[in-house]
């Protein structure tokens, strides 16, 4: 395993300018603080580096996983085979000219929201308190009932699996609840949004109200991956988990939050196996009690045991 990683690193070192790590523990890079190692992790220097990286991965038939801030991800304990492309330090440009906002995929969603608020632009308030990068937010159409990131999207620039850059308009992305369709293997590198002029004081007031509400209703003091399950149509996954009397159920270092039934928190030392056990229990009991089949909102990646 390590031999394969060393060989891949050597191959990449010849052609990549970005930073390359081998057997890097992904618990250092996920919001949950859970996850085994990435065989190889690369921080591409720029879009050309990304293209070369994707081409090498394709030529060598190496699997690729794109990582933003890892705030919507459960990485399994055996880690991730192949290359993890970490975009949290690349594509960080951000600008607002009139109502047009252009933003690199590695920019934190909180930074995007702050720039919009400072510029007196309204539309992103629903993203208050959503961690992660703009690339990850677009991939999962992140948001709240007050709005999602794709509501104001004009286009994204992606690098597809053949290394070509393409612009996709929102209409080409088949957007839905916590989802959007991208060409297979496409990596988002930039996005453009059009926002309306708002009243700065009202924008700031909405943001603080939403922040206070989030802090009161979510277990913000613990590590988590946000909501574990998608809300079923017309209902709330957290309500169903509560109805099944599963709040505060523990397994190892993981617990179904007592504050919000749709959060599993890492109390310290939780493994992915602990989290999956709770996920399975919640799905089984909610189905038995209510007939509803809960669907995962988080992305589960990697292998359960040693690779």
Please confirm, yes or no, whether 108 is among the known catalytic residues: no
120 vs 264, beta carbon nearer ligand FAD: 264
Instruction: DSSP for 77-120, please give it.
Output: TT-EEEEEEE-TTS---EEEETTEEEEETTSBHHHHHHHHHHTT
User: For ligand FAD, which residue of 103, 137, 254, 282 counts as binding (CB under 6 A)?
Assistant: 137
Nearest to 251 by CA among 282, 220, 227: 282
Binding span for ligand FAD by CB under 6 A among 45-53, 124-132, 202-210, 288-296: 124-132
Please confirm, yes or no, whether 190 is among the known catalytic residues: no
The CB-based long-range contact list for 110-118 (8 Å cut-off, 24+ gap) reads: 113/207, 116/195, 116/203, 117/200, 117/203, 117/204, 117/207
Work out how close the CB of 296 gets to ligand FAD at its nearest, in angstroms, rounded to a whole number: 12
Site for ligand FAD in 216-275 (CB under 6 A): 224-226
Site for ligand FAD in 287-306 (CB under 6 A): 299
120 vs 126, beta carbon nearer ligand FAD: 126
User: For ligand FAD, which residue of 79, 104, 136, 261 counts as binding (CB under 6 A)?
Assistant: 136
Alpha helices in the chain, H assignment, sequence order: 2-13, 47-59, 109-118, 134-139, 200-217, 237-243, 272-290
Token digits of residue 130: 């959503």
| Residues assigned a catalytic role | 178, 227, 297
Binding site for ligand FAD (CB under 6 A): 31, 65-73, 87, 105, 130-133, 135-137, 139-140, 142-144, 187-188, 224-226, 299
């Amino acid at each position: 395993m390590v031999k394969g990683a060393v060989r891949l690193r050597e191959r990449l070192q010849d052609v990549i300018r970005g930073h390359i790590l081998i057997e890097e523990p992904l618990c250092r890079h996920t919001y949950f603080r859970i996850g085994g190692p990435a065989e190889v992790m690369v921080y591409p220097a720029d879009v050309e580096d990304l293209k070369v990286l994707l081409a090498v991965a394709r030529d060598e038939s190496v699997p690729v996983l794109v990582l933003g801030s890892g705030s919507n991800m459960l990485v399994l304990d055996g880690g991730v085979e192949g290359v993890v492309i970490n975009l949290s330090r690349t594509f960080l440009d951000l600008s607002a000219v009139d109502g047009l906002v252009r933003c690199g995929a590695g920019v934190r969603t909180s930074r995007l929201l702050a720039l919009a608020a400072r510029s007196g632009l309204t539309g992103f308030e629903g993203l208050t308190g959503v961690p992660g990068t703009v690339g990850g937010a677009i991939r999962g159409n992140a948001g709240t009932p007050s709005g999602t990131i794709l509501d104001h999207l004009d286009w994204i620039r992606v690098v597809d699996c053949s290394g070509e850059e393409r612009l996709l308009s929102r209409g080409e992305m088949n957007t839905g609840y916590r989802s959007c369709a991208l060409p297979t293997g496409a990596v988002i590198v930039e996005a453009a949004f059009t926002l309306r002029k708002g009243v700065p004081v009202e924008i700031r007031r909405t943001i603080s109200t939403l922040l206070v509400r989030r802090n009161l209703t979510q277990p913000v003091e613990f590590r988590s991956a946000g909501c574990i399950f998608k809300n079923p149509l017309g209902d709330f996954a957290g309500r169903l988990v509560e109805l099944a009397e599963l709040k505060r159920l523990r397994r190892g270092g993981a617990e179904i939050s007592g504050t919000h039934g749709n959060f599993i928190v890492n109390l310290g030392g939780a493994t992915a196996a602990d989290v999956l056990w709770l996920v399975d229990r919640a799905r089984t009991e909610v189905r038995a009690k209510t007939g509803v089949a809960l669907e995962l909102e988080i992305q589960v990646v990697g292998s359960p045991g040693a690779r």
